[in-house]
Chain A
């Protein structure tokens, strides 16, 4: 039997998480270099239609891992069912999208299989038969090439946005229904329904211009600088997580993995260091401008224009220049 890469796809409440396709794209890329085959497993209950959707990609097979215990997500049920499944299929490599759900169960699944999990990989290297994954460390200030200790199955989670889901090669594969193995012990966790807090009053995903604020803004009163700049540009103000934690902006204006994902025409980052959790929410922006006093801030790695300097001097000057420019149009 050929060596196999198993992608664990994700669905929630009858909807496929689109980032599953990014992980399929990663698996296809690795398969191209290694000659391994790609298979996909989708845990859930009654998710045949979603499995069919996955089968539209160039993969060898889709397994619909089916069980009532998998209807509403719990880490216990997922670990139990996937452990049995992986032990039976013996993949060489298991890949997951780095979602909150995966973060919740995949480390535990790896340990249950007596393996380790490389989390939040942004890429891979296959050299001389050795597979390594690249991941960010120290809040994105460094990248690391990490190797697995021990034998296959090797396991890794793929960072959101690291591969393009729309580039997953299309094809046609068979879907096989597999009954999930369920523990016969009482449940330790009872999940309730997923909900949203209040109705959103802004939709940042529709904004053409976003001025985002990070820790570098230092004090709440300095938020006015960002507001003035946004007003001059006709854009919206947003922030990284710490700013919203401080209550300086409402949570609905938070950009990043736990907040909004945006892709405006122009994204101006003021004093945003560029931690991974923020980057995943905005790296699709067409033009990214970063203003930061730290020349080594990771935000500069994805910026189209980087201004190294004091935002408290640059932003007022920039606001004035923009007003002038707009006035002369």
Chain B
């Protein structure tokens, strides 16, 4: 199977984020990591390749720093990488990101394209679905099991509130992968060494610009949301905080 994994670099989970001067995006000087659901998508792709043969390519759209995501994927066992490299990809909406990816892989015939179900920055949960529409192939979302059959794929979808569904689907297809579908592997030392010699194709903004739409969603304003409740803050040493909390629970909330 020829598999493509779409990955994204996002701020580290614990990183304190600050707004930029125009208040439309975050400042870039934070620590970054691979979007967690994308890491699961990569792991699933590697497992499918180990079972059925073929190759795993990885792609990301983002500034120079986001190459780290691709390097790590190559170290874990991906065969080659494609980097849509430009600062402007960082805050691009899902539709244009999907258009850029589609343009960058034009002429390639992947059997399967996987990506995480959503990103930790936008959280729009759209890019994979939109890529399928652009490529004219079927898709399925929130996948927690993949089995290749003679005619295509047998998939397990997660639905809400503990419900599941099996579906069958033709290939080529795009799947968005749920976190926890598998156990992530670590890169080995030899993998890290080999990654340095694996192909990394760079795609410039100008090469895909013509495929992008001018109709984009625009973040007019980014801000720290106000508290939805009157939150009482307890700021005291542990023992004292525990006392205050119990007092509140007993006398005000009346739940003790």
Interface residues of A, Cβ cutoff 8 Å to B? 75-76, 99-101, 103-105, 107-108, 110-112, 114-120, 132, 135-150, 188-197, 200, 209, 215, 233, 241-242, 244-245, 251-252, 257-261, 265-266, 273, 276, 286-289, 294, 296, 298, 300-310, 313-314, 317-318, 320-322, 324-326
Contacts and interface: CB of A to CB of B under 8 A. Distances in A.
A260 B224 CA distance: 28
B225 A301 contact: yes
A289 B225 contact: no
A190 B48 CA distance: 22
Contact of A100 (B26, B160, B241): B160
> Per DSSP, are chain A's interface residues mostly helix, strand or loop, or mixed?
mixed
Contacts of A266: 249, 253, 255
Contact of A318 (B124, B132, B233, B245): B245
A193 B14 CA distance: 40
A146 B218 contact: yes
Interface stretch (B55-63, B107-115, B209-217): B209-217
Contact of A149 (B129, B180, B218, B249): B218
B165 A304 contact: no
Contact of A76 (B26, B138, B245, B249): B138
Contacts of A147: 217-218, 220
A143 B166 contact: no
B168 A108 contact: no
Contact of A111 (B133, B231, B233): B133
Contacts of A309: 235, 238, 241
Contact of A192 (B123, B166, B222, B234): B166
Contact of A305 (B13, B16, B165, B248): B248
Kindly name the residue among B130, B166, B215, B245 whose own CB sees the greatest number of chain A CB atoms within 10 A: B245
B203 interface: no
B229 interface: yes
Interface in B186-207: none
A302 B168 CA distance: 41
Interface in B82-117: 93-95, 98
B169 interface: yes
22 contacts: A99-B160, A107-B130, A111-B130, A115-B215, A116-B94, A117-B126, A119-B124, A135-B123, A137-B122, A138-B17, A138-B120, A188-B169, A189-B140, A195-B164, A258-B158, A300-B233, A301-B227, A305-B232, A308-B234, A309-B235, A310-B238, A321-B245
B234 A306 contact: yes
A244 B180 contact: yes
Interface in B224-256: 224-235, 238-239, 241-243, 245-246, 248-250, 253, 255-256
A318 B250 CA distance: 13
Contact of B242 (A110, A114, A287, A314): A314
B179 interface: yes
A158 to B, nearest CB: 14
A196 B129 contact: no
Nearest to A148: B217
B165 A308 contact: no
A115 B130 CA distance: 11
B165 A145 contact: no
A270 to B, nearest CB: 12
B121 interface: yes
Given A258-B160, A326-B256, A116 B234 contact: no
B134 interface: yes
A266 B252 CA distance: 12
Contact of A119 (B126, B161, B162, B241): B126
B9 to A, nearest CB: 13
A188 B173 CA distance: 10
Given A100-B142, A317-B241, A322-B246, A108 B129 contact: yes
Given A105-B129, A301-B225, 4 more contacts: A147-B217, A189-B169, A260-B162, A266-B249
Nearest to B24: A144
Contacts of B222: 137, 142-144
Contacts of B51: none
Contacts of A294: 14
A241 B133 contact: no
Nearest to B171: A188
Contacts of A75: 129, 138-140
